[in-house]
Amino acid sequence: MSAEAIGPSKAARARRGHRIDVLRLRRLGRAAVFGPAAPRHRLPDAIEHIAQVHRRHHPGADLDALRRAYLLAESAHRGQLRKSGEPYITHPLAVTLILAELGAETTTLTASLLHDTVEDTEVTLDQVRAGFGAEVELLVDGVTKLEKVEYGAAAEPETFRKMLVATGTDVRVMSIKLADRLHNMRTLGVMRPEKQARIARVTDEVLIPLAERLGVQALKTELEDLVFAILQPAEHARALELLRAHQAGPEPLEKVAERVRLILREAGIAAEVLIRPRHVLSLHRALLKRGGLGPGGFGRLLILVAEDADCYGVLGELHTCFTPVVSEFKDFIAAPKFNLYRSLHTAFADRDGLVAEALVRTHAMHRVAEAGVIALGDPHRATAPENPQTAEPAAGGEPGRPGWLSRLLDWQRQEPDPDTFWTALRAELAEDREITVFAEADDEGPLQLPAGATCVDAAYARHGRLAHTCIGARVNGRLATLRTVLRDGDTVRLLLDPDPGPSAGPAPEWLEYATTPAARIPIRRRLEEQAHPAERAAAPAPVAAAPHTPAPARTEPAAEPVALVGEAPGAPVRLARCCTPVPPDRVCGFLVRGGAVTVHRESCPVAGRMTAAGRHALEVGWRSPSIGCRVTLYAESLGRPHLLADLTEALAAQGAAVLQAEVEPPRQQRVRHTYTLRLPDASGLPALMRAMRSVPGVYDVSRAARPRG
Ligand code: MN
């Protein structure tokens, strides 16, 4: 049989009316399905490598179905050539290898070898079911295209609809489709440029978002770079050149990685510290977002540990030994993304000011981060027997049928028209992605924000803390409220108060509009500062801890005020830089390397998670409150309703405890209040007195020569 006799597709053959050597195919098919003459365990050379890779992830896998699937696919595709001139079977083999490398289980690989047989050869679904069972049949059917002859222009939308419905039954359908698309994208160079661009656009609008939602990061990033090269060749070339120039020199992150390895070794945390280079598109996005990249920006540290609890241990060490960039801290372990992804993200600066981003995760989390649903194995079994630790519950639904997929499958049923379905599908998939907003003025670059971001988010992304003075925004030339949700491509100008008063600052309701941590964190902090100015204004002078622990490790000499450690008196103490505790914050301590203790605020999320993860929290307290500061103050004021309530509220907001209060009867509208208070620290007194004076009606506050009582 000639290559011509078996054409590239069933439709093409039907049109040409060629006769096919059905008998020969049947014979081969039967041999493949019902067993070979060759010894049972002898694997064909062509799938030897796939089998090896597969066994690495699934040591006990039975490879017989794989062997039979290969024999059937090879015989069915024999004589067909890819556009590149290679035998067609190289394509299903390549797709299967991609899946095997991601750790897919045997049924997926079996279906993957067969994935184009029903579409492009005489093999039928019945044959597939007879030989390999209903699961493999469903997977092969799920990725089989609908015929252009029958569906015309609706073929592509309806094919995707069918694939998504099949994915709802078995998510492995989409795993195969993604790997299929990846290999096709890798070998797209042989196609005409218009066709390349068309395929790249569908990949960008549909398959990449699906890869993202299913958590298959490894496929997603490679697809992104392939699409980027086709759709934005100049930008791609520029980013690639930068990346190569960077790679030609020494990697500055290597020094940081080495220090992190040392720190973790001293802390007794077994960890693998790797450097992961950015992919080309990620580099391009970072350039757009920041205008340029620091020497540490070309890659990220990937820190792999054994246990969940170790992740927080690593985080504690990083936030203690380096200066964390608090706005970059994200906890995707406590709050996993919708796509199963779990990791801690943080960024920190080393002593030389080099900023490094770090991802902290366990090996199991890493497998899921790379392979997403593929790492979860067979969705019809509660746990994948070979690697039960990866079968972790997903956020917002079961792993095999995430919430977004159910919603998508629900609405698609209401949408019989293929064009409307296709438009809605792409719009839906675009939703969770980043948007780019532009500045009115040319001197400010575009901003990239997560979809759903508001003007408040844009203000903090653009101006940092200066955004506290933001009074409004102009979106696409029109005045808009700060709560306005921005859309991709909007032009935004943020209006700052040119002459902000001392009370300028974010309104508490900004927290309701702010969706990004980069906005929420400084807003929350500023609101706290405004409520408790004394806490920030007055940290106590350093108090030396009793000498007890001989090895103070590498504490920065006397740089931090010291808290008293109850359980380990005398241990060197460092204040965590993530939450910067000051008296009278309630605090707790964690033993770190070299016997030192890191002190966090009790409300610090890092501390909370370390405790939740099983790290022992030491009892620590401030020295000053035990000594305290007792003071009597007079407040002279004009009598008015609620004055007493307002004054005591101001006192409480400053952390002052009222031990005694007297109000003299008013004389000519004047009232004198006398308060005896206990303050955590004397240095808070000026701020306290200022706060009392700012209560309406109070015209003087003075201090009694000595405290009463
Ligand atoms: Mn294919």
Q: What percent of the chain has pLDDT over 70?
A: 77
Secondary structure class of 62 (helix, strand, coil): coil
Class of domain 629-703: alpha beta
Active site residues: 119-120
With cut-offs at 50, 70 and 90, classify the pLDDT of residue 100. Answer: very high
Highest mean pLDDT among 267-276, 327-336, 496-505: 267-276
What pLDDT does residue 326 have? 67
Concatenated DSSP letters for 170-181? -THHHHHHHHHH
How do residues 74-88 score in pLDDT, each as one tens digit? 999 999 999 889 999
pLDDT above 80 for 408: no
What pLDDT does residue 316 have? 87
How do residues 203-236 score in pLDDT, each as one tens digit? 999 999 999 888 899 999 999 999 999 999 999 9
With cut-offs at 50, 70 and 90, classify the pLDDT of residue 432. Answer: low
CA–centroid distance, residue 92 to ligand 1 (Å): 6
What pLDDT does residue 499 have? 76
CA–centroid distance, residue 401 to ligand 1 (Å): 24
How do residues 573-592 score in pLDDT, each as one tens digit? 777 766 666 666 678 888 87
Highest mean pLDDT among 274-278, 371-375, 387-391: 274-278
CA–centroid distance, residue 90 to ligand 1 (Å): 10
Architecture of domain 45-231: Orthogonal Bundle (1.10)
Task: Please choose, from the candidates 630, 692, 633, the residue with its C-alpha nearest in 3D space to the C-alpha of residue 662.
Answer: 633
pTM of model > 0.85: no
What pLDDT does residue 386 have? 36
What pLDDT does residue 535 have? 41
CA–centroid distance, residue 107 to ligand 1 (Å): 17
What pLDDT does residue 67 have? 96
How do residues 684-698 score in pLDDT, each as one tens digit? 788 888 888 888 888
DSSP element (H, E) containing 134: helix 134-143
CA–centroid distance, residue 177 to ligand 1 (Å): 8
How do residues 474-510 score in pLDDT, each as one tens digit? 887 788 889 999 987 678 888 888 777 766 778 888 8
With cut-offs at 50, 70 and 90, classify the pLDDT of residue 186. Answer: very high
Q: How far apart, in whole angstroms, are the C-alpha atoms of residue 482 and residue 471? A: 8
DSSP element (H, E) containing 491: strand 491-496
Task: Please choose, from the candidates 57, 69, 72, 65, the residue with its C-alpha nearest in 3D space to the C-alpha of residue 25.
Answer: 72
Phi, psi of 397 (to 5 degrees): 125, 170
pLDDT above 50 for 656: yes
Concatenated DSSP letters for 471-488? EEEEETTEEE-TTPBP-T
CATH of domain 240-374: 3.30.460.10
CA–centroid distance, residue 457 to ligand 1 (Å): 43
Neighbours of ion ligand 1 (CB under 5 A): 116, 180
With cut-offs at 50, 70 and 90, classify the pLDDT of residue 550. Answer: very low
Concatenated DSSP letters for 294-362? -TTTTEEEEEEESSHHHHHHHHHHHHHHSEE-GGG-EETTTS--TTS---EEEEEE-TT--EEEEEEEE
Q: What percent of the chain has pLDDT over 90?
A: 34
Q: How far apart, in whole angstroms, are the C-alpha atoms of residue 596 and residue 551? A: 9
Q: For tokens 């509208």, name the residue.
A: 669
Secondary structure class of 612 (helix, strand, coil): helix
Class of domain 423-526: alpha beta
